Amino acid sequence: MSRVRQAATFGITLVAGLVFGTVPVAAAGYDSTTEALIRTLNTQLTVIALPITVFVLAVLLYTVLRFRGNDEPKPTGENRNLEISWTVATALILVVVGVLSYQVMADPSVTTTQEMAQDAPEDAVEVTLVGHQWYWEVQYPDENITIQNVDTIYLPVDRPVYITVTSGDVIHSVHVPDLGLKADAIPGQRSFLQTRILNEGEYQLYCAEFCGAGHSKMTAVVKGVPEDEYEQWLEQQQNSTQ
Q: Which of 31, 30, 28, 35 is nearest to 201 (CA)?
A: 31
| Closer to ligand CUA by Cβ: residue 134 or 230 | 134
Check binding of 102 to ligand CUA (CB under 6 A). no
| Closer to ligand CUA by Cβ: residue 35 or 209 | 209
Whole-Å CA distances, 235 to 154, 192, 240: 12, 26, 9
Check binding of 172 to ligand CUA (CB under 6 A). yes
Which residues, other chains included, contact 207 with Cβ-Cβ below 8 Å and sequence gap of 6+?
Answer: 131, 134, 136, 172, 173, 174, 175, 215, 218, 219
Q: How far is the CB of 187 from ligand CUA (least distance, A)?
A: 12
| Closer to ligand CUA by Cβ: residue 85 or 191 | 191
Distance in angstroms (rounded) separating the CA atoms of residues 182 and 217: 18
How many Cα neighbours within 13 Å face the side chain of 51? 18
User: Which contacts (CB < 8 Å, 24+ apart) does range 58-62 have?
Assistant: 59/6, 62/1
Check binding of 36 to ligand CUA (CB under 6 A). no
Residue 163 neighbours by CB distance under 10 Å: 24
Mutual orientation of helices 33-66 and 3-22 as an angle, nearest 10°?
170
Check binding of 157 to ligand CUA (CB under 6 A). no
Query: Residue from 41, 155, 157, 207 that binds ligand CUA (CB under 6 A)?
Result: 207
| Closer to ligand CUA by Cβ: residue 62 or 210 | 210
Check binding of 175 to ligand CUA (CB under 6 A). no
Extract the runs of DSSP E, i.e. beta strands, from the chain. Answer: 125-132, 135-140, 145-147, 152-156, 160-167, 172-176, 181-185, 191-196, 201-207, 219-225
Q: How far is the CB of 189 from ligand CUA (least distance, A)?
A: 15
| Closer to ligand CUA by Cβ: residue 165 or 225 | 165
Check binding of 182 to ligand CUA (CB under 6 A). no
| Closer to ligand CUA by Cβ: residue 157 or 208 | 208
Which residues from 114-133 bind ligand CUA, rule CB under 6 A?
A: 131
Contact 138, 147 (CB under 8 A): yes
Q: How far is the CB of 214 from ligand CUA (least distance, A)?
A: 8
Check binding of 62 to ligand CUA (CB under 6 A). no
Query: Residue from 124, 190, 215, 229 that binds ligand CUA (CB under 6 A)?
Result: 215
170 phi and psi, to 5 degrees? Answer: -110, 180
| Closer to ligand CUA by Cβ: residue 39 or 215 | 215
Which residues contact ligand CUA by CB under 6 A?
Answer: 131, 172, 207, 209-211, 215, 218
